[in-house]
A and B are shown apart, each in its own frame.
Chain A
Amino acid sequence: MNGGAQVLRRCALAALLALAALLALAGCSEGRDAAEPVAGAGRTANDAREWLDRIASAHAHADEALAAGQPDRARTFLNAGLAREVPAEIAGEHARALRQDLWYRLSAIGLALEPSQALREADQGLALGRHDDLFSANLLVARGRALQALGRDTEAASSYHEALQIDERLLNAVLGAGAGSQLDGGP
């Protein structure tokens, strides 16, 4: 497998877009609160914002620790992110996705340190729910890597194949409707 830094940079991409969305929503709410208070905005919004900030901070600090060659420290930050209680305002699927990405990064970092731990972390992420999305696919790849590192090649191939099948369904969705990208443009 390729080097850790490069792998980790790529592995974080899926949830980072999600983070961008959630953090942006929080940021906008905050901005509007200052100018024109919105009914319903209050402590709960602040809780959500704080949680999102903590998750973003966990990723950022993990990035820095990895860049400094400190994977254990990076794991500490990511675990701290997972330890935060999810506010009720965060949609369940969003929380699941962001937490799965934290598990994915933990597993990816842990692979070089302790494959059996990496396997447990991938499984813990998958225990949050398997869906036809990139978060589940990434965790299945992480699981496959850990299994491969443990010499459990048949199981590793099976995990890789599960991830591949998710990607196939995603590709079908992309090619099936042929709708134009809604994401290229902005206001």
Chain B
Amino acid sequence: MAQFHLNVNGKTLEVNVDPTTPILWVLRDHLNLVGTKYGCGIAQCGACTVHLNGIAVRSCQLPVSSVGNNKLTTIEGLSENGDHPVQKAWLEHDVPQCGYCQSGQIMSASALLEANANPSDEEIESAMHGNICRCGTYTRIKAAIKTAANS
């Protein structure tokens, strides 16, 4: 066990955990931020995507000891009132079916748009390749990303 001070969604939060604990489980079990989902545990499905200094990363592969003072953003902190353009576009297109993968999809999409305000179809497909949607909402996700890019 070791103590860590994490910068999560603009707040400094303290946890006392095994240093090998992935950020995914720190968020879910210790900080009660359960919007970040567990899907595979090996960075293959994207359900656990968060932002580390604005870059989309898979939190299941990110040990708490490696994060230091870097800025973590989760789906809960993407916007104050749930009104990030990507979140709004997701509602406008009524994207989710089961919804489980969607916070990871939104985190990947928002990081993409941060880096590339007007991605092409190919760039969207490439950036979103690591996020599986088992319900098959891919066409709506792409449409929502384009809507968000245009807003």
Is chain B a partner of chain A in the same complex?
A: no
